[in-house]
Each structure stands twice: as structure tokens, then as C-alpha cells.
Structure 1
Amino acid sequence: MDKPKIEPGKNIAMKVPSFKWAETVSFYRDKVGLRQTRKTPNSIAFEFGAMTLWIDRVEKQSQTDIWLELFTPSPDEALLALGGPARDELEEIEDNNGRWTSDPAGVVLLLRDE
């Protein structure tokens, strides 16, 4: 089986506990100076070079997690090739064209077809 093509995506998500969310958003907006591009009640997006950094408020979380998006024409094949566990219970994928997994360090990866 050939290794499927896998490339960096356009999104990085920082999953932040509620008690640290406002302070973290302020840090990236006011101290780092990132330009805000979108806002929902529990998520703020910033321009991060060619990518978007999402800072998401997570109610029942005690520490911050980083989630990365990877593009691949075949998410199922990429999941098999990477050998990571299927983690599709983590969060619903709106357009249903991807799979959740994680790397050996526990960083969550979204494998999706652009």
C-alpha cells in the first residue's frame, strides 16, 4: 500500500479550560497582536500566518490541548497509514469528510479531505 499524501491543513485549535480562556484570548490578541477573524460564544479565530488559530473554550477540561488539521485525499487510508487510534468520538466533523486520530504524544489530529 502506498503512503497517502498528507499535508498541513489550515487550522490549529487550542482547546483551553474555561477558567483560562479569557486570559489566553487576551494574550494572543493584545500581547502577541494577532488579528481576530471570527468569534462565536466559545471560540475565537485569529490569523496565524497562512493558518487560522482557533482558541476554543472547553467547559470540562483541566489543561490546554493543541489539535492540528492535516489534509489528505483519503482520510481512512491516512488513518491506517499513520497507525493512530480512531478518535471520532472527540468532536463532530461538519462535512463528514474526515477522521480524528492522535499522534504518539497525544496531540489530536484531524485528517480531512480539503
Structure 2
Amino acid sequence: MDIRPGKNIAIKVPLYKWDETVAFYRDKVGLAVVKTLTNSTGFAFGDMTLWIDRVEKQSQVDVWLELFSDHPDQALERLESPRRDELEPLDDVNGLWTSDPAGVVLLVRNE
């Protein structure tokens, strides 16, 4: 059973900083926008997508990472990390939320 990097990185940004943060990555860093949603802008970030997500009821920035595993439940056991289902719904995704010892949120899911 292996665990490998996913294709997405998300920066969860408070509502009052979202426009400025999106402009920073678009205009100053020069990343290309690949997808725009109501509360999220995706940028090409090498082989990955960097998502800047607007979170209304948040006061600080969080970085969330995606990991792939053929067996998310076994990966969670190997990581010895807590299950964090309360974070966001995983509608059609076969995976689960957890976090590392520093509190970085991890989505462990099938590719």
C-alpha cells in the first residue's frame, strides 16, 4: 500500500483576503487561471492545481493537501492520523479527511 502526492493543493483564505490573494497569484506570481468557481479559483501549479478557496467563517489561512492511495482507510491507519469527516463533505469522492501533527489538513483519496 502506497501513499503518493495528489493533484491539488488548497489554500483556504478568509473572505476579507480572498480577492487580494487571488490577484497576488494571478498578477504578481503570474500563474494561469485554469478554473473559476463561485468560491474558488484554480491555478496551474506545475503538474498540480493550486486552489484559492474563499471561506466565509474563517479568520486565518489554512493549507490543505491531497494524497492518493488505493486504500484510504489503510493509509489513515499507517499515518496514525485522526479522521476529520467534519471538515467538508466528500460528495462523490472515495476518501477521507485527516490532518498531520502540525494540523495541515490532508485529503486521502483514490485517484
Superposed displacement of residue 94, structure 1: 2.6
Distance (whole Å) between structure 2 residues aligned to residue 88 and residue 75 of structure 1: 13
- Please state if 1:100 is matched with 2:68: no
Distance across 1 between alignment mates of 2:90 and 2:71: 15
Q: Distance in 2 between matches of 1:68 and 1:40?
A: 19
Who is 1:37 aligned against?
Answer: 34
| TM-score, with length taken from structure 1 | 0.95
Query: 2:84 is paired with a residue of what secondary structure?
Result: coil
Alpha-carbon RMSD? 0.6
Question: Hey, what's the Cα distance between the residues in 1 that align with 2:36 and 2:4?
Answer: 27
> Partner of 1:81 in structure 2?
78
3-state secondary structure, aligned to 1:62: coil
TM-score for the superposition, normalised by structure 2: 0.98
- Give, as a single letter, the amino acid of the residue that structure 1 aligns with 2:47: A
Which structure 1 segments of 5+ residues have no match? none
Moved over 3 A (4+): none
Can you list the C-alpha shifts for 1:16-37, whole angstroms capped at 9, x where unaligned? 0000000000000000000000
Gaps of 5+ in 2: none
Give the paired residue count.
Answer: 111
Question: Matched residues in 1 for 2:100 and 2:30: separation?
Answer: 30
